[in-house]
Amino acid sequence: MKRILIAEDRPASLELICTVLESVGYEVVGVADGQEALEKASENSIDLFLLDLQMPKLDGFGVVTQLRKQPNFANTPIVALTASAMNGDRERALAAGFSAYITKPVDIRFLRSEIERLTS
Amino acid sequence: MQGKSPNANRGEPPTSAEPQVDLQSYLRFRDLLEAAPNAIFEVEHDGTIVLLNAAAEQMFGYAREELLGQIIEVLVPESLRHRHRENRGDYAEHPVTRPMGIGLELFARRKDGGQFPVEISLSPTRSSRVIAVVRDITDRKQAEAQINAMHRQFTTELEATNQQLEIRNREVERANRLKSEFLASMSHELRTPLHTIIGFADLLAEELKGPLNPNQKRFVAHIQQDSRHLLELINDILDLSKIESGRLELHPEMFRAADAIHETIDGLRPLAVQKQIEVREVLDRDLNISADRVRFKEIFYNLISNAVKFTPEKGQITIECSEGQEGIFFMVADTGIGIEGSEQQAIFDKFYQLGSTTRGVREGTGLGLAITKNLVEMHGGNIWVESTPGKGSRFQFRLPHAPSQASATPVQDGAVNP
């Protein structure tokens, strides 16, 4: 079973993403900020990260930078999740080390297919 | 040279040999002289004034008798007299006609000591004298000074206005930036809760956590539909503000127009099928265009979804593209409710929605055509509509030729072909 770490500071959104992915058989680890994401990443083996870009303590950019420095996560898919849809955000995220960029509101079917594509 | 007679010097006949002057000629000459508006002097080569007219008396404030026999320098300001004497000497050696308005700014001196600007013409006479015609240019100088002062004033005012404009421009730029930042954050704040509303509604509709009864299903469907409509509105507003603040960037590429149009039609086909609307495509398959592919599809998406929206069941939608001399022409025609003549221009305005005739039609954002028009114009094209109420509407837009085709057109008649 693939394990996915989801970092999202808004509880409703965290529950939504977790439920959407759990419902199709993923094991999910939910955390509420970037610091916690890094801690959980070192304790578990993670197959994919789904990180909200705006989070307290350490944002998604901070997390991806730290993760990419660790050899075991150098090639792990890391997906950015954001409600921002301004010009250049996607480019900035991809340049920072994210593998994919998904905007909120997410289409739950699209989210599942994108996660499946990235973990297979 | 000083002591010799100038006439002897030049080998000319002595004065006594000059032709006799008859009285008639003399009077005519005198009338002419006295009628001249400028001061006229005849001066010996040593500077002695031998003749002057009434204008000279008036201009300089001397009586004629006071000046006759005087040295001409009496009419020159003291500070310039020495220089004038030297110049006069030079002139005597090289006597040439010097017309008015040539040379330096000159000044003359009145009897009362007042100075005034003059223009002087000099002409040598046959008897080695010099005729000087003097024009008082005080008025002209004053006018020039006034013009210069006005010019300086205008320049100063213009500079001040420019400065104010620059300040205002900076303020506008700043306001624009703030507006963009506000929009970015507003958009983010609106989309964040919408994300969970749409997501949970979709989850509920999937019934993975248990079946819904028919009422619950319908309620959830309402939430899904209206939350997506709200999202559409937010996206359109964001798009339009990006366009208006010039922040929407186009990424042009070459592609086959028919392919992109076909993809857009495919996406909307389910809606058309629902209403049993026939969609006809009359597309030139070989037509390549240079445009932002995503935005090009957005233009067609807006036009076709409008056509589907406003066409009754079992109607017909025709989509065409073809190349003309003026560019590439696209058309989306429907057999829908049509648009009144008075509304045909307004439909391209922001938030304009068709009036009472459209009751029962699925609501839109009122921004689609405004965005479409902007997108067409950003591509260098234009859009227009022809419509007959009750019969249907025909939206057409023109895009410029793709660059390669445009540059290929003038190459003719065996011109160099790389």
Q: What is the pLDDT of residue B411?
A: 37
Q: What is the rounded average pLDDT of the residues B15-22? A: 62
B120 pLDDT higher than 60: yes
Report how far Cα A39 is from the mean position of its chain's Cα atoms. Answer: 15
Structure tokens at B75: 């009419």
Confidence of residue B108 (pLDDT cuts 50, 70, 90): very high
Asked if the Cβ–Cβ distance from A87 to B249 is below 8 Å, we say yes
What count of residues does chain A have?
Answer: 120
| pLDDT (0 to 100) of residue B413 | 39
Q: CB–CB of A85 and B238 under 8 A?
A: yes
pLDDT at B180: 74
Cβ-defined contact of A10 to B196 (cutoff 8 Å): yes
pLDDT band at B134 (very low <50, low <70, confident <90, very high): very high
Nearest alpha-carbon partner for A106 in B15, B372, B45, B196:
B196
From CA B389, how far away is CA B335, in angstroms rounded?
Answer: 10
H helix and E strand count, chain A: 5, 5
In a mutagenesis test of the A interface, which of B189, B192, B208, B233 is the best target, namely the one with the most A β-carbons within 10 Å?
B192
With an 8 Å Cβ cutoff, is A23 touching chain B?
Answer: yes
Q: Does A74 touch chain B (CB under 8 A)?
A: no
Q: Give the nearest chain B residue to A106 (CA atoms).
A: B195
pLDDT at B9 over 70: no
CA dist B338 and B349 (Å) reads 17
Pairing of strands B278-283, B316-324: parallel
- State whether A13 and B248 contact (CB < 8 Å): no
pLDDT digits (tens, 9 = 90+) for B145-187: 999 999 999 999 999 999 999 999 999 888 877 877 787 778 8
**A105 upstream amide cis, omega within 30 of 0:** yes
Closest CA to B373 of B400, B346, B342: B346
Question: Taking 80 as the threshold, does the pLDDT of residue B385 lie above it?
Answer: yes
Of chain A, the percentage scoring pLDDT greater than 70 comes to 98
Cα separation of B144 and B208, whole Å? 92
Name the pLDDT band for A96 (thresholds 50, 70, 90).
Answer: very high
* pLDDT, averaged across chain A: 91
Q: Which site among A15, A59, A108 would you substitute to test the B interface, given the most B Cβ atoms closer than 10 Å to its Cβ?
A: A108
Please enumerate residues of B whose Cβ is less than 8 A from a Cβ of A: 184, 187-189, 191-192, 194-200, 202-203, 206, 208, 227, 231, 235, 238, 242, 247-249
Angle subtended by helix axes B257-274 and B293-310, to nearest 10? 30
Which of helix, strand or coil describes residue A120?
A: coil
A25 CB within 8 Å of a chain B CB: no
Helices in B207-250 by DSSP H: which ranges?
A: 214-244
B323's tokens: 């190349």
All residues of chain B having their beta carbon less than 8 Å from the beta carbon of residue A23 are: 203, 206, 208
Closest by Cβ to B231, choosing from A54, A82, A105: A105
Q: Are B296 and B259 in contact (CB under 8 A)?
A: no
Nearest C-alpha in B relative to A52? B192
Reported confidence tier of residue B104, pLDDT bands at 50, 70, 90? low
**A39: closest CA of chain B, how far (Å):** 26
Question: Average pLDDT of A60-76?
Answer: 92
Q: Does A1 reach chain B within 8 Å, measured CB to CB?
A: no
Q: Which residue has the tokens 């210069």?
A: B148
Q: What is the mean pLDDT of residues B219-234?
A: 90
Cβ contact B208–A23 (<8 Å)? yes
The overall average pLDDT reported for chain B is: 85
ipTM: 0.90
| 3-class secondary-structure state, position B416 | coil
Distances (CA, A) of B101 to B98, B105, B133, B315: 9, 9, 11, 86
Q: Is B110 exposed, middle or buried (0-12, 13-18, 19+ CB in 10 A)?
A: middle
Q: Do B187 and A84 touch (CB under 8 A)?
A: yes
| CA pair distance B72, B77, nearest whole angstrom | 11
Residue B343 pLDDT:
82
CA-closest candidate to residue B369, choices B392, B352, B394: B352
Among A77, A59, A55, A56, which residue's Cα sits nearest to residue A68? A77
Q: Chain B residues with CB inside 8 Å of A60's CB? A: none
Q: Write out the DSSP string of B111-142.
A: TTS-EEEEEEEEEE-TTS-EEEEEEE-HHHHH
Q: Which residues of B touch A19 (CB under 8 A)?
A: 203
Residues B370 and B352: their CA atoms lie apart, in Å, by 9
With a cut of 60, say whether residue B258 has pLDDT above it. yes
Are the Cβ atoms of B194 and A105 closer than 8 angstroms? yes
Residue percentage of chain B with pLDDT more than 70:
87
Residue A97: its pLDDT value, please? 93
- Contacts A–B by Cβ distance under 8 A: 63
Q: What is the pTM of this model?
A: 0.57
Residue in A19, A54, A103 nearest the CB of B203:
A19
What does the pLDDT read at residue B184?
A: 75
Q: Which chain B residues contact residue A12 at CB under 8 A?
A: 196, 200
pLDDT at B410 over 90: no
With a cut of 60, say whether residue B92 has pLDDT above it: yes
Which residue of chain A has the CA closest to B241? Answer: A86
pLDDT at position B12 is 42
pLDDT number for residue B17:
52
Average pLDDT over residues B209-223: 94
Give me the pLDDT at residue B416, please.
Answer: 38
Q: Beta partners for B244? A: none
Cα-based angle A93, B267, B359 (whole degrees, multiple of 5): 110
3-class state of residue A80 by DSSP: strand
pLDDT for A61 equals: 93
Query: Which range scores top for mean pLDDT: A97-111, B12-26, B240-254, B356-370?
Result: A97-111
**Mean pLDDT to the nearest integer, A57-65:** 92
Average of pLDDT values for A74-98? 87
The two tokens of residue A50 are 């789904």
* CB of B108 closer than 8 Å to CB of B118: yes
- What tokens were used for B224? 């899904």
pLDDT at B109 over 70: yes
Task: With cut-offs at 50, 70 and 90, classify the pLDDT of residue B142.
Answer: very high
Provide φ and ψ at B344, rounded to 5°.
Answer: -65, -30
Q: In this predicted structure, what is the pLDDT of residue B405?
A: 47
pLDDT digits (tens, 9 = 90+) for B293-340: 989 999 999 999 999 988 999 999 999 999 988 899 999 999 988 888
CB A65 within 8 A of CB A96: yes
Q: Which residues of A touch B194 (CB under 8 A)?
A: 104-105
- Say if the Cβ atoms of B198 and A13 lie within 8 Å: no
Alpha-carbon separation of residue B62 from B50, B67, B310 (angstroms): 14, 7, 98
CB contact under 8 A, B184 and A107: no
A16/chain B closest Cα distance in angstroms: 7
* Residue B19 pLDDT: 63
Question: What is the DSSP code string of B328-345?
Answer: EEEEEEE-SS---GGGTT
CA atoms of B416 and B394, how far apart (whole Å)? 42
d(CA B259, CA B265): 10
Residues B347-373 have pLDDT tens digits of 888 767 665 445 445 566 778 898 999
- pLDDT exceeds cutoff 50 at B408: no
Q: What is the pLDDT of residue B7?
A: 40
Q: Which of B57-61, B245-249, B392-396 has the lowest mean pLDDT?
A: B245-249
- Lowest average pLDDT, out of B11-25, B218-232, B276-290, goes to B11-25
Query: Which of B12-21, B74-83, B196-205, B399-408 shows the lowest per-residue confidence on average (mean pLDDT)?
Result: B12-21
Greatest alpha-carbon pair distance for chain B in Å reads 141
**What would the pLDDT profile of A5-59 be if each residue is shown by its tens digit?**
999 999 999 999 999 999 999 999 999 999 999 999 988 889 999 999 989 889 9
- Which chain A residue's Cα is nearest to B194? A105
Q: Which pLDDT band, with edges at 50, 70 and 90, does B404 fall under?
A: low
Which segment, A20-24, A87-91, B18-22, B398-402, is predicted with the most confidence on average? A20-24
